[in-house]
Each structure stands twice: as structure tokens, then as C-alpha cells.
A and B are shown apart, each in its own frame.
Chain A
Amino acid sequence: MGYKSIGKQLQLAREQAGYSQEQLAAKIGCSQSTLSNYEKGKRRVYLAQLALIAEILGKPIEFFLRSADFHTPGQHNLPGDKLYDLYANDLKQKLPVFPGTGSAGSSEEQNLLAAYASLSPEGQRLVIDFITWLKKKEALGNG
């Protein structure tokens, strides 16, 4: 009924923002199990609650309403988040030479990128989302 997709986006946004379920639940005034059920799509999140979550996580409401694979023409599914494209492109440029192709970079970087390459598209997206969030945070001096 659409709420599983909303729940997935909620989980993604929460993880991007670096909150545990307990932490976000405390902020929005519900139990961890309620938030868990929102994320699983086992409970419908109502507008007032989602508006509050969106505000805390710094996402527009549309973010939660769109499935992960939705793309509007010429626009990534994270509207306005240009950093995402920047890091995604950066990683894609590096990826073809890994693993074991003798490219530059420490073995740790090689291992990380090899691990990234082995992930599902959704997993890769989560990694890029996390890097985007982390870079933003460091840029603001809160790293």
C-alpha cells in the first residue's frame, strides 16, 4: 500500500542523519518499536508525525514519498543534493581499476572500494549517501 516504500526511505534518511531508532524515536516522542514499525511499513505514519521526522532529518516530505529508484527527468532522487552526484561520480571513476588492477591507493582504500563494488545497487547508494552526509558534516566543522 506504499507504506513499505515510505518506511524504507524513512530508514535511509534516519541512517543518513546518523540516528539510531531509539534516538529518533525519542526526538519525535514515540517508542522505538513504533518507529521500527513505521520503517517496516507495519504501521502507517501520519502526516504530522512524518512532517516532524522530515524536519528533524532535514529532508523534504517528497523524499519519503518517492521510492528509492524514482528519478525525475534530469534530477536525482535526492532533490537539491548535488554533493551526492559529485561523490557518486568520483567513486565510479575509481571503481573500474579495482580490485587488483594495480591502481594507486592504499590497500585499505582498495579493500574499501572492492567491498563497495561487491554491494548491491541499493547498498552502494547507502554508502554514497553516508559519504555525502559525512562530508557535509565535516565541511560544517562538526566532524
Chain B
Amino acid sequence: MANFNISAEQRQLVEEVRALALRQIAPAVGMLDEADDGRFNDGPFRALAEHNLLTPTVPQEYGGRGLGYFSTALALEELGAVCAGVATVVTANIHAASPIILAGSAGQRGTYLPPLAYAEPCLAAFALTEPEAGSDITSIATTTACNKGLWTINGVKEFVINGGLARFTTLFATTDKEDKRAGLVAFIVPYDVQGLKVGTVHNKMGIRCVRTARLILDKVIVPDELVIGPRGSAYLLLMQTFDRGRALAGAVGVGLARAAFEFALQYSKHRQQFGRPVFAQQAVSFVLAELAARIESARLLVWKACWLIDNDLDYTMASSMAKIAGSQVAQEAAAAAMDICGGRGYLKDLPVEKYLRDARVLSLIEGTNNIQKAVIASLL
């Protein structure tokens, strides 16, 4: 970890994702952001799938790129710099695949992981949050019961990224609301199962290219073969999935922060006021200097957390720190960029207002930043 150089292979990956993002995703970002008719544009995800980057953590034996978390974070920073929404869809796919990679049976892995690596885009979803259960996941009310090897699931899942578009949803339900942790069960729910309905598709302030929907499970029946992990393990599986995903959410924030910073830097060097570039004002250059330091520190936290994950070391605290740092610096950079660009930054002519709208959600998703602080505090 003391070596801060990324490998030649990782450098190549960064260049590949940067080129892909700039050529095939960036031109569509404005259109994706403006769309408000509920239709989903899969263009960016088609491009990512063609490069096998839609779920880059799928192991090579299942057709994936088998990227570690460090490499995945590098890729997500590049995507986050072009569109945090597109990057968020990739993190959702990684989230959905994670429990299967960690604890899925050979059959589950063989069936559900290869499509995530196909050249045709395949989206997956991760359903946990409910109308009355957000940060407190032990209060989830989606119930399940097993009878002769068949599990019946009833409940409502909220804010499901890729909801209604996913080929399968990794979903958590409880056998007993009193048995808060041991009662949780993790399922793979295929998209075409009877009783699975898509409810409200949410209209959002930011990451507008991300389909976020409510899922309604009305007597959904899945066989025992679609339960992930050994009995009683779902809580641990869930926590571990969070711990891994949070570092990647931090990477998306770092990418967005970098984009906002680079835009503001260029703008400040061209924008003339009082006969000189605004960058010549310390009030501006110091803000950018501080941002440069904050972005770098957030990036290093993301790298550290991902390195710990890849080396199977204790990554819980580092991952929560990375998530806080990445999401905070994204908001700071976007807000600073708007200040530096002045009134023009508020207009849709520039990307700055989108950075600000997209950045806001990063401290809310993947566990709010206050939850990250609670995680860190519990380990102090």
C-alpha cells in the first residue's frame, strides 16, 4: 500500500474508461439528464457493456473482467467525472452481484453472473430500503416464509436503482420481524417472477439518468435455490456488501469532484475580471488549491479502502471514511465551481449545476454520511 503508483495495467484501464466515457457517454449526458418522460436511455450502458465494464467485478471464470476493487474504483472515478448517474448504475450492478460473488452457490453464480458480463447490457438491482426502513435495516417489513422449499415474499422496496429494468434483483426479507438479524434472508428474484410489480418511478433532483423505482412484491414465490448464502447469514452478507460498496461510492464522488474542480480551474483561468483572470485572485486560487488537496486526500482514502478489500483485510472503517470523504468533496467541489463560475454556473449552459444536483445525493445513498459516522464511531 505504501506504493502509490498504479500498475501499467491499471493505467491502461484508466485510459480505456476515460476514452470510452468522453467519446460515448459525455455527448449523451445532457440528453440523459433532461429526459423526464420516464423512458430509459440505455445508450451509455450499451457502451459500457461492450467493454465489459457494466459489472467489472464479475470474476473472469464467469466471463467478467474480474477487476479488484482498486481497479474498479479507478474506473468509477473516470465514469463519475463524466456522469455520476452512469457511475451509480454501475455501482448498483456491482452491489447486486456482490452477495452472489461472496456467498452464492455454484448454480447461482453460473446462472446470474455471466449475463452481467454480456456485450448486451444487463442491469441488476439491489433491493433493501423500504418506505419505513431506511438506515435501520433491522426494521425491514418485507416478510418471507418457506413452505416445502418454496419461499413466499410480500412487501414493498423503495428507491431501487435499476428497478423494473433489472434482469434480477438481490433482495432482503425477514422471516420474523423480532428476529432482527438472524431472521433476514437474501434472495435472487428474477425479473419475470409472478407477483413482482414496478411501482412509482421517481423523479429526482440529480442522477436523473438512473431509473429509481418502487418494487412491490405480492406473493412472490421463489425456490430455495434462489436463497443466497447459508441460513442466517444474510445480515452479515448485507453488511459486507455495504462495506465494499461504500468505498466505490467514494470513488464516484472523487470523480465528480475532479470534474467540477477541473472545470472551475479552466474557467477561472479564462474568465477575466478587473483586467486579469479570476484565478489571479487568491480568493479563487486558494479555494481551488484547497479543493485539490481535499480531492487527493479523498482519492487516497478510496484507494486505501479498496486495497484493504482486495487484500481481504479489515476494511469497514476505511470504506466508511472513503464514502464520507468522496461524497463531501464532491459537494464542496460542485458548490465551489458554481461560486467561481458565478451566475453562468447556475445556468444549464454549463455542467456545473448538474454537478451540484448530482453531488447532493452522494451523501444520502449507500448509507447516509451520518450512518457512516455511526459505523466509524462504533469501531473507535
Q: A residues bordering B, Cβ < 8 Å?
A: 1-6, 34, 41-48, 50-51, 60-62, 65-66, 70, 72
With A1-B378, A44-B239, A72-B176 as contacts: A66 and B230 at CB distance below 8 Å:
no
Interface size counted on chain B using CB atoms at 8 A: 26
The reply to whether B378 and A50 contact each other, CB–CB distance below 8 Å, is: no
The reply to whether A46 and B236 contact each other, CB–CB distance below 8 Å, is: yes
The reply to whether B103 and A66 contact each other, CB–CB distance below 8 Å, is: no
Interfacial residues of chain B within 229-251, with CB under 8 A of chain A in the complex: 229-233, 235-237, 239-240, 243
The distance in angstroms between the C-alpha atoms of A51 and B103, with both chains bound, is: 11
B176 partner residues in chain A, CB cutoff 8 A: 72
| B283 close to chain A: CB less than 8 A | no
B179 partner residues in chain A, CB cutoff 8 A: 66, 70, 72
| B19 close to chain A: CB less than 8 A | no
Q: Specify which of A2, A43, A61 is in contact with B138 (CB 8 Å cutoff).
A: A2
The reply to whether B181 and A2 contact each other, CB–CB distance below 8 Å, is: yes
| Closest residue on chain B to residue A4 by CB atoms | B378
The reply to whether B232 and A61 contact each other, CB–CB distance below 8 Å, is: yes
B232 partner residues in chain A, CB cutoff 8 A: 60-62, 65
| 17 more A-B residue pairs beyond the given contacts A50-B236, A61-B232, A70-B182, with a C-beta to C-beta distance below 8 A | A1-B378, A2-B180, A2-B239, A4-B378, A41-B378, A42-B379, A43-B314, A44-B239, A47-B233, A48-B102, A50-B233, A60-B232, A61-B233, A62-B232, A65-B182, A65-B235, A66-B181
Tell me the smallest distance from the CB of A96 to a CB of chain B, in Å: 32
| Closest residue on chain B to residue A51 by CB atoms | B230
Number of A-B residue pairs at CB separation under 8 A: 63
| B375 close to chain A: CB less than 8 A | yes
With A1-B374, A51-B230, A60-B232 as contacts: A46 and B240 at CB distance below 8 Å:
yes
The distance in angstroms between the C-alpha atoms of A47 and B186, with both chains bound, is: 13
A46 partner residues in chain B, CB cutoff 8 A: 236, 240
The reply to whether A60 and B103 contact each other, CB–CB distance below 8 Å, is: no
The distance in angstroms between the C-alpha atoms of A55 and B243, with both chains bound, is: 24
The distance in angstroms between the C-alpha atoms of A70 and B183, with both chains bound, is: 11
Q: Specify which of B236, B316, B378 is in contact with A65 (CB 8 Å cutoff).
A: B236
The distance in angstroms between the C-alpha atoms of A3 and B374, with both chains bound, is: 12
| Closest residue on chain B to residue A45 by CB atoms | B236
The distance in angstroms between the C-alpha atoms of A127 and B364, with both chains bound, is: 46
| Closest residue on chain A to residue B176 by CB atoms | A72
Interfacial residues of chain B within 325-380, with CB under 8 A of chain A in the complex: 374-375, 378-379
The distance in angstroms between the C-alpha atoms of A105 and B379, with both chains bound, is: 48
The distance in angstroms between the C-alpha atoms of A72 and B232, with both chains bound, is: 14
The reply to whether A47 and B103 contact each other, CB–CB distance below 8 Å, is: yes
Q: Specify which of A41, A47, A66 is in contact with B236 (CB 8 Å cutoff).
A: A47
Tell me the smallest distance from the CB of A24 to a CB of chain B, in Å: 18
The distance in angstroms between the C-alpha atoms of A111 and B168, with both chains bound, is: 62
| Closest residue on chain A to residue B180 by CB atoms | A2
Tell me the smallest distance from the CB of A111 to a CB of chain B, in Å: 38
Query: What would 9 A/B residue contacts be, using CB atoms closer than 8 Å?
Result: A3-B378, A41-B378, A44-B316, A46-B240, A47-B233, A62-B182, A62-B232, A65-B236, A66-B182
The reply to whether B240 and A47 contact each other, CB–CB distance below 8 Å, is: yes
Tell me the smallest distance from the CB of A45 to a CB of chain B, in Å: 8
| Closest residue on chain A to residue B380 by CB atoms | A42
The reply to whether A65 and B379 contact each other, CB–CB distance below 8 Å, is: no
The distance in angstroms between the C-alpha atoms of A43 and B376, with both chains bound, is: 10
B138 partner residues in chain A, CB cutoff 8 A: 2
A42 partner residues in chain B, CB cutoff 8 A: 379
Interfacial residues of chain B within 81-106, with CB under 8 A of chain A in the complex: 102-103
Q: Return the 4 tightest CB-CB contacts between A and B, nearest first.
A: A62-B232, A65-B182, A61-B232, A62-B182
Tell me the smallest distance from the CB of B189 to a CB of chain A, in Å: 21
The distance in angstroms between the C-alpha atoms of A17 and B66, with both chains bound, is: 39
Q: Specify which of B231, B316, B374, B378 is in contact with A62 (CB 8 Å cutoff).
A: B231
A65 partner residues in chain B, CB cutoff 8 A: 181-182, 232, 235-236
The reply to whether B235 and A2 contact each other, CB–CB distance below 8 Å, is: yes
| Closest residue on chain A to residue B374 by CB atoms | A1
Interfacial residues of chain B within 203-252, with CB under 8 A of chain A in the complex: 229-233, 235-237, 239-240, 243
B181 partner residues in chain A, CB cutoff 8 A: 2, 5-6, 65-66
The distance in angstroms between the C-alpha atoms of A29 and B202, with both chains bound, is: 47
| Closest residue on chain A to residue B181 by CB atoms | A65
B182 partner residues in chain A, CB cutoff 8 A: 61-62, 65-66, 70
